[in-house]
A and B are shown apart, each in its own frame.
Chain A
């Protein structure tokens, strides 16, 4: 595996399957009386969050702590960042403190890449969401959830996954499209024409404007939140019209195959892209996605930090 996790597209199939298998073993930890493993004792993980986040930050924090790493949380509010410090100076500070891994969320696409390749820090960099670009650990936890439900015995080869909603502003959609394709699934993106990004034709996916045509064939449906905070109007006439054409309600859910699951990366807006009866139905695995997120992030941190750091230790001195 690479030293960093910046894009779901960087993962080979072997890498991705190693992470999923490791996560499968780590998931059982949640059932044990002592939910802790010593693998990252003495390592420091910095959560560097320039954007608001609840579940991703908490999930990374829980993952690092369960592996016995020391966790430093660093959010833009209440830090020197709000006084105008640059990413570079923040990075140099982290380096001076001896961070072994930096988990970064940033509003600018490419910020994690810059951090990893600038030479400012020597730690591993994990992308926890950058702008409208990528969110690889979310894609991994989605793949893990799909794998648990649909992949019994054979992986995700040939499984049909529909990703529905605000693809334009979604880093989750891009990371999922890349990763699920690597794992052999067939991804269809469904959105109104205004919410497809430019260049979506180069993605390894199919696209559709018609949700009702896609649903009956899907093995899983992933609903995306409409990111109104990134919109300045004009993408669709009204919220009501959007939900009528692209929302998942009980009527549409009835057209799904029996085994089809419904996913959502959260946070959801009930009544907009998904109705409450769907979100709370037994097809919904939305809460399980959160549980799986901790296991997947543990697997990522373990595989990036658990072994020898390349170049640092010669090894074998007993």
Chain B
């Protein structure tokens, strides 16, 4: 009975890009295919384990919508390596966004905190694209209202640069230098048709009002 996540410009935390019109978008350049994504996630999983010296006290929190399946995939890989399941959840940041007042009220996405909570744990936030850093700022605020983790780390599939806040990722699938007019689109099987990361050039000239 949970909300079906409204399709949203997950890779664009700020107002610069409109919601991608999936059907109308021109075919972009594929930067990562399904195999690349799988390899990147495997590497991230190992890096998380290495940094944490094992899977103890780890909690993975995906940021909806596409951070959540990524968090589950990382958890599967960690379980395969370490043999123990890592708690996975999701953290909706809608109400903590700094641009909440600039658009009509958005639908909320699911927040599910694993039963053990986050107090004293090492929380790894998982998102698809790191861009301005504003989403992560909001996520840190949201997390602070839920508990007090011992440490918070950030894992992203793609870091496209153009930070607007002093935030960096601990684990990065791929650094992707982009121009501000380009759009990065992450599709994941389960939500979308297939696994891919694509870059779309400056699309049809947007009519800015």
Assign chain B's interface to a size class: 20 to 34
How long is the Cα–Cα vector from A315 to B96 in the complex, in angstroms?
Answer: 17
From B65-73, B99-107, B155-163, B185-193, give the one contacting chain A: B99-107
Q: Assuming the A-B contacts A24-B2, A24-B3, A38-B141, are A303 and B96 also in contact, with contact meaning beta carbons closer than 8 angstroms in the complex?
A: no
How long is the Cα–Cα vector from A315 to B97 in the complex, in angstroms?
Answer: 14
A297 CB, nearest partner CB in chain B, Å: 15
User: B92 at interface (Cβ–Cβ under 8 A)?
Assistant: yes
Q: Assuming the A-B contacts A37-B95, A38-B95, A308-B101, are A21 and B145 also in contact, with contact meaning beta carbons closer than 8 angstroms in the complex?
A: no
B13 CB, nearest partner CB in chain A, Å: 11
How long is the Cα–Cα vector from A152 to B1 in the complex, in angstroms?
Answer: 6
Q: Which residues of B contact A26 (CB under 8 A)?
A: 108
How long is the Cα–Cα vector from A32 to B107 in the complex, in angstroms?
Answer: 20
Question: Which of B109, B110, B146 meets A32, CB within 8 Å?
Answer: B146
Q: Assuming the A-B contacts A32-B146, A34-B146, A316-B15, are A25 and B101 also in contact, with contact meaning beta carbons closer than 8 angstroms in the complex?
A: no
How long is the Cα–Cα vector from A315 to B141 in the complex, in angstroms?
Answer: 23
Instruction: Verify A25–B108 contact, CB threshold 8 A.
Output: yes
Chain A contact residues: helix, strand, loop or mixed:
loop
User: A88 at interface (Cβ–Cβ under 8 A)?
Assistant: no
Instruction: Verify A308–B92 contact, CB threshold 8 A.
Output: no
27 A-B contacts (beta carbon < 8 Å): A21-B2, A21-B108, A22-B3, A22-B107, A24-B1, A24-B3, A25-B109, A26-B108, A32-B146, A33-B146, A37-B96, A37-B145, A151-B1, A152-B1, A302-B95, A302-B105, A303-B105, A306-B95, A306-B106, A307-B100, A307-B101, A307-B103, A308-B101, A308-B102, A313-B101, A318-B14, A318-B15
Chain B contact residues: helix, strand, loop or mixed:
loop
Per-position contact with A for B131-163: 1 when CB-CB < 8 Å, else 0?
Answer: 000000000010001110000000000000000
Per-position contact with B for A264-282: 1 when CB-CB < 8 Å, else 0?
Answer: 0000000000000000000
Interface size for A (C-beta < 8 A) is 32
How long is the Cα–Cα vector from A133 to B52 in the complex, in angstroms?
Answer: 61
Q: Assuming the A-B contacts A36-B145, A147-B1, A318-B14, are A313 and B102 also in contact, with contact meaning beta carbons closer than 8 angstroms in the complex?
A: yes
How long is the Cα–Cα vector from A72 to B169 in the complex, in angstroms?
Answer: 43
Q: Which residues of A contact B175 (CB under 8 A)?
A: none
Q: Assuming the A-B contacts A38-B141, A315-B15, A318-B14, are A25 and B103 also in contact, with contact meaning beta carbons closer than 8 angstroms in the complex?
A: no
Q: Which of B66-125 contact A (CB under 8 A)?
A: 92, 95-96, 99-111, 113
